Amino acid sequence: MSFHHPSIWLLLLLPLALLAWARWLLPRLRAHVSYSDTSLARAAGGSLAQRLRWLVPTLRTLVLVGLIVALARPIKADEQVRVQVEGVAIMLVVDRSGSMRAQDFVVDGERTDRLTAVKDVVRDFVEGDGTLPGRPDDLLGLVSFARFADTICPLTLDHDHLLAALDAVRPANERGEDGTAIGEGLALAVERLRDVGSRATPDAQHRIKSKVIVLLTDGENNAGEIEPITAAELAASSGVRVYTIGTGTRGLAPFPVEVLGRTVMQMQPVSIDEKALTRIAEVTGGRYFRATDTASLREIYQEIDALEKTRSDQRRTVLFTELAVEPVRWHGWSIPPLLLPVAILLLIELTLGWTRLRTMP
């Protein structure tokens, strides 16, 4: 709480409130009658009204203090912040074909499969960590694909829901669902981005600065009816930029295989259609990256994060509440305007001063 300038100087009048006690502080201002002997009056004792004589000047003092403070215009400043955000709509397109079970990546010092490493890095890309700032103001969605493409999470600002959906993605284990439909995964992501517009939250207005797809795969397109280059041309015509990531070590990679009821590792060749992925990126104005381990995968997402920046502006508005005439809420309580209790105290003081506690003259 503060006071309006220059009305705050009226607080210098507060000592004048003591004038309410002038009749008590200066005996000559009080009417009196001289008696030669007051012992009988003292023996009779005082009435209740006599013992409460101090109440009227006390109420009058409080009224004067309240009026002076009200004239000084106490105010409470409420700052409202409106954030103007130009965010990025990002569809994460993740390959979940059976080859993503190849264990040529390391997370926390332990060898793991490609999909688990991707989940770990994408989580940091979304939430942020020591090296990645996170994407709190961006619309994010998720498409996964094997033989078929599926929308796992639509574009949303609820990133907890997105990450929960990502955690539920598993590599394709059945032969009927295995495959690598890069074209269909890309086309589905473009479709999800085509109609995205402005979305608002109570304290922020989100405008879409750009539309981006981050496509990650470890193989070659061998399923689906849509060719990757056709999907890339669709993305380019829709104003969508595509960053492509080829995931997997070079040469041979350990792959889990069931042999006589046991899981053994067999070295299998890594085959990524880098030419097609490069072409997709070039057609849409994006870039192609190759991730051969977890460290390089993290560096790629750091670079994409730097390329696709979100801009936000804050507009601050300060609203003042005049506490003398306006109620205010404090810790869940509604505090009435200052003049209301002052008026009540004045009414009580006048009532008592003209009735039970009235004095002569």
257-296 pLDDT per residue, tens: 888 778 888 999 999 999 999 999 999 999 999 999 999 9
What is residue 41's predicted lDDT score, i.e. its pLDDT? 61
Q: Residue 113 maps to which CATH number?
A: 3.40.50.410
Does 258 map to a domain? yes
For residues 284-311, average pLDDT: 92
Please state, in angstroms and rounded to a whole number, the distance separating the CA atoms of residues 91 and 212.
Answer: 6
Q: Which residue has the higher pLDDT, 45 or 304?
A: 304
| pLDDT at residue 335, as a whole number | 74
- Do the domain assignments include residue 40? no
224 part of a folded domain: yes
Specify if 361 maps to a domain: no
Q: Are 256 and 104 in contact (CB under 8 A)?
A: no
Structure tokens at 140: 């994010």
Instruction: Please tell me whether residues 174 and 280 are part of one structural domain.
Output: yes
Considering the chain, what is the average pLDDT of its residues? Answer: 84
Q: How many CB atoms lie within 10 A of CB 284?
A: 27
pLDDT tens profile 185-223: 999 999 999 877 544 444 444 567 789 999 999 999 999
pLDDT of residue 55: 83
Tokens (6 digits) for 102: 């190849």
In a shared domain, residues 310 and 332: no
Lowest-confidence pick of 98-102, 228-232, 262-266 = 262-266
232 plus 301 within the same structural domain? yes
Q: What is the DSSP letter of 183?
A: H
Q: What is the DSSP letter of 318?
A: E
Q: Is 131 within the bounds of a domain?
A: yes
pLDDT digits (tens, 9 = 90+) for 133-158: 899 888 999 999 999 999 999 999 99
Q: Provide the β-strand partners of residue 288.
A: 244
Predicted pLDDT at 142: 97
> Are 247 and 229 in a shared domain?
yes
Q: Tell me, what amino acid is at 325?
A: V
Q: 134 and 25 in one domain?
A: no
Q: Tell me, what DSSP letter sits at residue 57?
A: H
Q: What is the pLDDT of residues 163-179, one digit of tens each?
A: 999 999 999 988 889 99
Which segment of 47-51, 168-172, 224-228 scores lowest on mean pLDDT?
47-51
Assess whether pLDDT exceeds 50 at residue 308: yes
Q: What is the pLDDT of residue 133?
A: 87
Full residue range of the structural domain in which residue 140 is found: 82-314
Q: Is residue 56 located within the same domain as residue 170?
A: no
Q: Which residues, in sequence order, are CB contacts of 236 under 8 Å at separation 6+?
A: 283, 284, 285
For the chain, how many structural domains are there in total?
2
Q: Which two three-digit tokens encode residue 40? A: 């009988």
Query: Do 112 and 209 belong together in one domain?
Result: yes
Nearest 5°: the CA angle 249, 293, 227 is 60
Query: Would you place residue 31 in the very low, low, confident or very high pLDDT band (cuts 50, 70, 90)?
Result: low
Q: What is the pLDDT of residue 198?
A: 44
The verdict on 281 and 135 lying in the same domain is: yes
What does pTM read for this prediction?
0.64
- Residue at 37 is within a domain: no
Q: Which of 37-46, 98-107, 149-158, 176-185 has the lowest mean pLDDT?
A: 37-46
Residue 39 lies inside a defined structural domain of this protein: no
Residue with the bigger pLDDT between 48 and 326: it is 326
- Are residues 165 and 100 part of one domain? yes
- Asked whether the predicted pLDDT for residue 361 surpasses 60, the reply is no
Query: Are residues 289 and 196 both part of a single domain?
Result: yes
Residue 127 within any structural domain of the chain: yes
Q: What is the pLDDT of residue 56?
A: 81
Indicate if 100 and 203 belong to the same structural domain: yes
Which pairing describes strands 149-156 and 139-145: parallel, antiparallel, or unpaired? antiparallel
pLDDT bucket at 84, cuts 50 / 70 / 90: low
Same-domain pairing of 63 and 102:
no
pLDDT for the residue numbered 327: 80
Asked whether residue 348 carries a pLDDT value surpassing 70, the answer given is yes
